[in-house]
Structure 1
Amino acid sequence: MLIDPRTVRECREELGLSQKEFSRLLGYSHYNRISAIENGKESISKAAVRLLNAYMDGYRPPDWPNASGAVYRR
């Protein structure tokens, strides 16, 4: 499934994540990848789309960052 760049950015912003936090949670090694995806220069991977869908449905892994920059713990 392809997701357009604007949707990726909107999801990240709705989740309240920086590009750095978002890239780590999607398994990318550097936030420049998220910037490139949001600007339409690269495509988001199928695995990252699955994770993004899970995050948008409410899944939060143990290392989820909270708004203060600390790590979210359940």
Structure 2
Amino acid sequence: MTSEEFKEARRKLGLTQSELGALLDTAPQTIRKWEMADTRSTARSVNPVAARAMEWFLSGFRPDGWPEPKP
């Protein structure tokens, strides 16, 4: 999963970087770095386990602690 695909998946799920970080037990700053364009010096490749979790979330899986939908 590319950084842009990861970012689009998060947006499609309606999650903030902080909410996704809480679900993945990862700092929001790490989520931000995964979503950065590869040309940025502080960008990081998307963690493969996080990418797999995003695929599960997109398929409908909702773990405990999933944020309530925003009105």
- TM-score interval (norm. to shorter): 0.7 to 0.9
Relative contact order, higher structure (CA 8 A, sep 6+):
2
Map of 1:16 onto structure 2: 14
8 Å contact from structure 2 (residues 6, 51) kept in 1 = no
Superposition TM-score, scaled by structure 1 size: 0.79
Distance 2:35 2:48 in 1: 15
**Could you tell me which amino acid in structure 2 is paired with residue 26 of structure 1?**
L
Q: Percent identity?
A: 29
Number of residue-to-residue matches in the alignment: 65
- Superposition RMSD in Å: 1.1
**Runs of at least 4 residues off by over 2 Å:** none
Which of 8, 25, 28 is residue 27 of structure 1 equivalent to?
Answer: 25
Q: Which residue of 2 aligns with 1:47?
A: 49
Gaps of 5+ in 2: 38-42
Shift of 1:43: 1.2
In structure 1, C-alpha distance between the alignment counterparts of 2:7 and 2:46, rounded to whole Å: 11
TM-score, normalisation: structure 2: 0.82
Q: Which segments of 5 or more consecutive residues in structure 1 lack a partner in the other structure?
A: 69-74
How far apart, CA to CA, are the structure 2 residues paired with 1:42 and 1:11?
17
